[in-house]
Chains A and B, each alone.
Chain A
Amino acid sequence: MDRLKEKIISESDTFASCILLSKEIDKILKKADKKAAILSNFTVKGLSECLKVKSFANDIFLQVYEGEYGQWKQEILGNKLYEFKPDIIFLLIDAHGLDNNILYENDDIKHDEINKLKEEAKNELLQFVNYIKSKTSAKIIVSNSVKIWPPIAGIFDNKLKNGYCEIVDGYNNNLLNIYKNDGQVFIFNFNEWLGYIGKKNFWYGKYYFMADMRLSPEAIPLLADELTSYLIPLAGKKKKCIVLDLDNTLWGGVIGEDGLSGIKLSSTGDGQQFYYFQKLLLSLNKKGVLLAINSKNNEADVKEVFLKHPNMVLKENNIVSSKINWNNKAENMQAIAKDLNIGLDSLLFIDDDLSNRELIKQMLPEVDVLDLPTDSTKYVQTLLNYKGFNTFEFTEEDKKRNEMYLQDKKRNEYKNIFIDMDTFLRGLDLRVSIKEVDDLLIPRIAQLTQKTNQFNLTTNRYHEDDIKNFIKLGDKLWALEVSDKFGEYGITGFCMVKNKTDLWEIDSMLLSCRILGKKVEEQFFGFILSELKKLKPKKVRAYYKPTLKNNQVKDFYKTFDFYKMKSSEIEDIWERDLDNYEFNQHSFIEINKC
């Protein structure tokens, strides 16, 4: 599998090579991680294959359903699509009618008629999207419409009462506005993307006239690559942290040799490219991406740059972990993952030095490595094109993440002062709030189920709509919020209990790794058992489903005196009665029930 992945990364640049590589992927017998459906009103033959290949390069084993050519409406109204049970549906709809009628007949069609056409195209699409929404909670990705350049009316187009560009823009803006606050439907800016790769070369070329391929086949692998932006967060493969080299990455030159005034880093002229690269890193940091440093340098030299260089955009408080020493970078990388309590597969490594990149690729294949070009003026574009930080939601926790990790850093320093655990915990002033999940919490809870790997008993992944549905069905959903004297951790735990006729069934029980080691997990689950007992002292059944990452919680239920009723490769089943259950609240944790 790893060899195939390597092959894919080095060879999947052309249309034919993608198609051929997809055949190799098809030979692997494995359950799909995710299922995607593609419906389109123009030929995108080969997109399924390319999408599989590009997903594979991102460690996602994708199964694809491709709608019959030209039958996207029948597909939506039929059953086959829903029987496939897609996790995501790509609806690539170019407002064909708009083009044909408006591009060519613009001058002759009256104002009202054009507006009517625009409305009709939009309303028709809306109806179909709404129908999909009624049938499935899969994410729906709807493309906007391509605006061809140049318009027939030329420079006068934007003076017309209904110019071509104005109409297509209006249609596209309308789509955006309608779904602005919809967590299920996302608009794919197909028009801008196509402009970026080149409408002149890839749209309505000779393949359109030969095979009705409006989008040229050379562009299909590029489209697949772009669409992985949706598949990565869908499959929970989002990266959490960028690990940065310093010399020739954050600034030009070598600090140890060139000195503070010799390195290139400037808001104008020479060194500007590094200044803007740092600006981009800072924006990502503000969106919840953590930053760490892995550099071979003297720590004092680096500190001086951070403190004294007038054009340093990144400051020490943007960096949550830093390893500046002469150790090998693979060791440092592991130490950073350990510091932050995140998996190696949550890291992206950025280093201008090819041998360091190779070292990480060889030693720690889980870490994603950005292939930084030798020309530093291309750094910004390269990182912008990296897909691993895409997300379907941007929560309060994301905004506060950097700050929370900095607090962790302080906590750990504080921890070293104490000898025994209880003294340490007592000194933290831990405050725990346990809340029933309401509408406001739904996005964060869905995010937690998607992202939590280690302390997760069943690893059941849910979307926002699923959570809404559980609440509606009367299941018991609790969220855990934790804070201490250093600051807030936010919503970091979730437990869902299904109310079955003769028993309580623990469907999900998870905690973010950041709060482990403080006995909060015991208190959270203990509290839930006591609540269940109050509601009805039925039997409780709980599950542990092993994954590659959750071994640490294998015996979690044993600590609560559950009996293992059944054990298999797929799951362990644990049970206990509640009649004799007593909740021991730790004296050092304050619990608020909301």
Chain B
Amino acid sequence: MLNMKVKLYDLLSKILEVPRDKMNDEISPVNTPTWDSFNAIMMIVELEKASGVSFDMNDLMSVKDVGDIKRILDKYNIKYEC
């Protein structure tokens, strides 16, 4: 599990209902109405499940867009693919 790459864009595009080829670092709750509080929880649960890591709440609260998610995955040394 830990050596596997997290399929980040697959996962986000499924939850946010944004086509995979439209995914980018700038996607955020501001420009994407489907990024509501419920879907945000879903993203965290799925990312934790896929990576086997439990994120610190402070890190999660700092997320403002997809770029921030990548930054956190890097911080936890989680490999991912876009």
Contacts and interface: CB of A to CB of B under 8 A. Distances in A.
Contacts of A206: 54, 57, 60
A15 B61 contact: no
Nearest to A210: B57
A221 to B, nearest CB: 10
Contacts of A217: 41-42, 45
A20 B42 CA distance: 10
What secondary structure prevails in chain A residues at the interface with B? helix
A45 interface: yes
A213 B40 CA distance: 13
Interface in A31-55: 45-46
Given A19-B42, A46-B38, A213-B41, A14 B49 contact: yes
Given A211-B37, A218-B49, A16 B57 contact: no
Interface in B39-78: 41-43, 45-46, 49, 54, 57, 60-61
A549 B24 CA distance: 54
Contacts of B38: 45-46
Contacts of B60: 206, 210
A213 B37 CA distance: 12
Contacts of A14: 45-46, 49
Nearest to B14: A20
Contacts of B15: 16, 20
Interface string B13-51: 011000000000000000000000110011101100100
A142 B54 CA distance: 32
A16 B40 CA distance: 11
A207 B41 contact: yes
Interface in A205-249: 206-207, 209-211, 213, 217-218
B41 A218 contact: no
Contacts of A210: 41, 57, 60-61
Nearest to A220: B45
A211 B41 contact: yes
Contacts of B37: 211
Contacts of B57: 206, 209-210
Given A45-B38, A210-B57, A210-B61, A15 B14 contact: no
Q: Place the interface of chain B in its size category.
A: 10 to 19
Contacts of A218: 45, 49
B24 to A, nearest CB: 21
A16 B43 CA distance: 8
A13 to B, nearest CB: 9
Q: Which of A16, A213, A218 has the most CB of B within 10 A?
A: A16
Contacts of B54: 206
A15 B49 CA distance: 10
Interface in A316-362: none
A213 to B, nearest CB: 7
A207 B55 CA distance: 11
A482 to B, nearest CB: 55
A16 B61 contact: no
Nearest to A205: B54
A211 B61 CA distance: 11
Interface string A485-506: 0000000000000000000000
A109 to B, nearest CB: 31
Nearest to A201: B54
Interface string A1-39: 000000000000011100110000000000000000000
A85 B36 CA distance: 31
Nearest to A211: B41
Nearest to B38: A45
B63 to A, nearest CB: 11
Contacts of B43: 16
Contacts of A45: 38, 41
B17 to A, nearest CB: 9
A217 B38 CA distance: 10
Nearest to A207: B41
A28 B49 CA distance: 29
A210 B46 CA distance: 16
**Which 8 residue pairs across A and B have the least CB separation, nearest first?**
A16-B42, A16-B46, A206-B57, A15-B45, A217-B45, A217-B41, A14-B49, A218-B45
23 contacts: A14-B46, A15-B46, A16-B11, A16-B14, A16-B15, A16-B42, A16-B43, A16-B46, A19-B42, A20-B14, A20-B15, A45-B41, A46-B38, A46-B42, A206-B54, A206-B57, A206-B60, A209-B57, A210-B41, A210-B57, A210-B60, A211-B41, A217-B41
Given A14-B46, A45-B38, A210-B57, 11 more contacts: A14-B45, A15-B42, A15-B46, A16-B15, A16-B42, A20-B14, A46-B38, A206-B54, A206-B60, A213-B41, A218-B49
